[in-house]
Structure 1
Amino acid sequence: MQIRKIRIDEFEFDCRVSGKEENELVILLHGFPETSYMWINLMEELSPLGYYCVAPDMRGYSKDACPKGVHNYTVQKLSGDILNIAAAMHADKFHLIGHDWGAGIGWNIVFQNPEKIISWTALSVPHPRGFAKAIKSDKEQRKKSRYIGQFLVPVIPEIMLRKNDFKKFRRLWKHSSKEELNNYLSVFRRKYTLTAALNYYRANLGKRNRQAVGEITRPTLFIWGKKDLAIGKVAAENNHKYMKGDYTFLDLDGGHWLIQTNYNEVKKAVIEHLKKNKSAPNNV
């Protein structure tokens, strides 16, 4: 496992890479509040199978790709970063895997750029349209999504989350290894990272900058935990309504942090999905 710095215009992204560059590219997108560290174990198991794995610390999480201002964190800009990283790898097509906000951004990339996607795997967060409908129609989902409104308020969330050296985050990270925990803390202790991470919510949720994501045509695997504190049953089980390509839904006996709590099940499903859709040339 190496850290490779990839420069995109004025930004430089810290990317974990594993495998041989000539192999099929797999890009892995982390969510909130994590970093690319969450993918290390999976990358090290995928790369010997013939994949070149690249997991960026995304915009706001990479030290030299952390601009100020809510407007710098729209889904369009976050998606553009990933497409530019793929281009820097000289890859016309790639497999995409995302968790949490990484999944939210991934749905947009897959819808907007189907010709670039070999396969798509989303963990925890379903299709944005289905998620939005669930918030409107399902009482349970509204309750689970209450925290989003709190994150949209300026300044106060930062004060609350920084208390006692990120005590609230530490509860979320209780399944992470000590090394993983230390990595997350080292990133969030930087001056601007927490605000940047919260700007994902502020730039894309609420009334501003909603971007429509339509039907998904690429081969899709969606993995969800039945005990997820943020995503309810209605949103997860209605995901299939937006799939027009090959679709697999895996519901696990787990919560939101599936890569830590249900690693073997996730790994098995991801490997099967990648193998099933291997070889880009005929997969348009």
Structure 2
Amino acid sequence: MARTKVINLGAFQFDCRVAGNEKDELVILLHGFPETSIMWTALMADLNPNEFYCLAPNMRGYSRNACPKGKNHYTIEKLGQDVLDLATAVGKDKFHLIAHDWGAVIGWYLAYHYPTKILSYTALSVPHLKGFFQAIQNDADQQQRSKYIKLLVIPFLAEYKIRKNDFELFRKLWKHSSEEELEDYLNTFREKKVLTASLNYYRANFGKTRTEDIGEVYVPTLFIWGNKDMAIGAKGVALGHDYVKGPYTFMESKAGHWLIQTDYGTLKPAILKFLISNRFD
């Protein structure tokens, strides 16, 4: 069962969920937007008996005491460095990485720039960034799916619309989440600074992420995409395949964007098999 742990990184304190034996291989799990580390608790419980130590942080902006003001604190470089520093803080040089949505954006960045640190990478929903951004630039279907980002980058207006009617917009996204997850999400996003911080992921990086700096990935990779995903279309997925040159497994789910909540029975054995096949020791 996951337990809470506060990890200090300089001036920041990250609220984390951890599970398993610290001597086992490390698996870091990165949540997306708008969620928290609670989304991973079931998977963490299923990985522990297979000798994996799981660490799922509430990432920068979501942890109350790791929530600096200003979008410049939320660049992809800083978000990625947090992950590396968390691994170091628990005494690990290498780790497996599992990530969804914005967590997967950070994951692709790490898999390319720090391949010697990553034993395996499991990306959920978001394909290789170069392929994905090519689709945003050139594919009408993906452009339509990504229109929501234009709202999220507008200061104050985005916060106002999201908070309206006690997060009615978010509640629609969370309709597949458990009551426990819903309570955790609301408690997190009702913190005024957290909502703005989470939106700063878009404001600091959208239109500025240097996709040419995220090239071919050679880390063993499992990518799982739901073909009913409202935000990620097939074109970006297809283009992304071309940039994964190492051992690569692609799995298409019949679910939507919220894969863990809606297709866990399919994902769990696939992820577990992949991790076991890429053990370090």
TM-score (norm 2): 0.98
The CA distance in 1 between the partners of 2:21 and 2:60, in whole Å, is: 25
Aligned to 2:193: 192
The CA distance in 2 between the partners of 1:194 and 1:170, in whole Å, is: 14
2:65 pairs with 1:69: no
Could you say what secondary structure the match of 2:241 adopts? helix
Comparing 214-223 with 237-246, greater Cα deviation is found at 237-246
Deviation at 1:238, TM superposition (A): 2.3
Aligned to 2:210: 210
Could you say what secondary structure the match of 1:16 adopts? strand
Deviations 1:179-214 (A, max 9, x none): 1000000000002000000000000012x3535201
Could you say what secondary structure the match of 1:242 adopts? coil
2:110 pairs with 1:105: no
Identical-residue share of aligned pairs (%): 54
Aligned to 1:51: 52
Deviation at 1:237, TM superposition (A): 2.1
Deviations 1:52-103 (A, max 9, x none): 0000000000010000000000000000000000000111110000000000
Could you say what secondary structure the match of 2:257 adopts? coil
The CA distance in 2 between the partners of 1:184 and 1:65, in whole Å, is: 17
Map 1:76-225 to 2 at 5 A. 76-206=77-207, 208-210=208-210, 212-225=213-226
- Asked if 1 retains the 8 angstrom alpha-carbon contact of 2:99 and 2:122, the reply is yes
Deviations 1:123-154 (A, max 9, x none): 00011100010112211000000011111111
The CA distance in 1 between the partners of 2:4 and 2:228, in whole Å, is: 34
2:250 pairs with 1:255: no
Could you say what secondary structure the match of 2:44 adopts? helix
- Asked if 1 retains the 8 angstrom alpha-carbon contact of 2:129 and 2:240, the reply is no
The CA distance in 1 between the partners of 2:18 and 2:77, in whole Å, is: 24
The CA distance in 2 between the partners of 1:250 and 1:5, in whole Å, is: 34
Could you say what secondary structure the match of 2:98 adopts? strand
Deviations 1:153-184 (A, max 9, x none): 11100000000110010000000010100000
Amino acid at match of 1:153: I
Listed as ranges, the gaps of 5+ residues in structure 1 are none
Listed as ranges, the gaps of 5+ residues in structure 2 are none
Could you say what secondary structure the match of 2:81 adopts? helix
Deviation at 1:244, TM superposition (A): 1.1
The CA distance in 2 between the partners of 1:148 and 1:158, in whole Å, is: 13
State the aligned residue count.
279
Could you say what secondary structure the match of 2:242 adopts? helix
The CA distance in 1 between the partners of 2:219 and 2:51, in whole Å, is: 21
Deviations 1:16-75 (A, max 9, x none): 000000000000000000000000000000011100000000000001000000000000
